[in-house]
Amino acid sequence: DAGVTQSPTHLIKTRGQQVTLRCSPKSGHDTVSWYQQALGQGPQFIFQYYEEEERQRGNFPDRFSGHQFPNYSSELNVNALLLGDSALYLCASSLYSGAPSRTEAFFGQGTRLTVV
């Protein structure tokens, strides 16, 4: 049973460029959330997708956008990259149950993005 998979694992981009990160959720899961983790910090919620729609969004600018496909996989896009966007980007998948307090979210291995 495949867990949450993310690609690529590492990426180096130049300021001003655009990047796309990909995530395949755990088998049986239908909800994907994206988090950004800066060095020495806890993960910060970017946004969440369910039924191909963005359901919740954290305090991130519109440069961060996403998409969910019919097979539940998801992409995170970041435009006009800044040096401060350098971080570990984590995808978490879960199964929507209508009871968020009982939902377990499992993380992928992450994509390490470096902006130079």
Partner 1 sequence: QKEVEQNSGPLSVPEGAIASLNCTYSDRGSQSFFWYRQYSGKSPELIMFIYSNGDKEDGRFTAQLNKASQYVSLLIRDSQPSDSATYLCAVNGGTGFQKLVFGTGTRLLVSP
Residue from 87, 105, 113, 115 in contact with partner 1 (CB under 8 A): 105
Does 25 sit behind a cis peptide bond, omega within 30 degrees of 0 on the bond before it? no
Window contacting partner 1 (CB under 8 A); options: 13-21, 22-30, 40-48, 79-87 = 40-48
Contact call for residue 74 and partner 1 (CB under 8 A): no
Residue whose entry in the numeric block shows the structure tokens 């800044």? 82
Taking the complex as a whole, the smallest distance from the CB of residue 49 to partner 1 amounts, in Å, to 10
SS3 116: coil
Distance CA 39, CA 57 (A): 22
Residue from 20, 22, 86, 96 in contact with partner 1 (CB under 8 A): 96
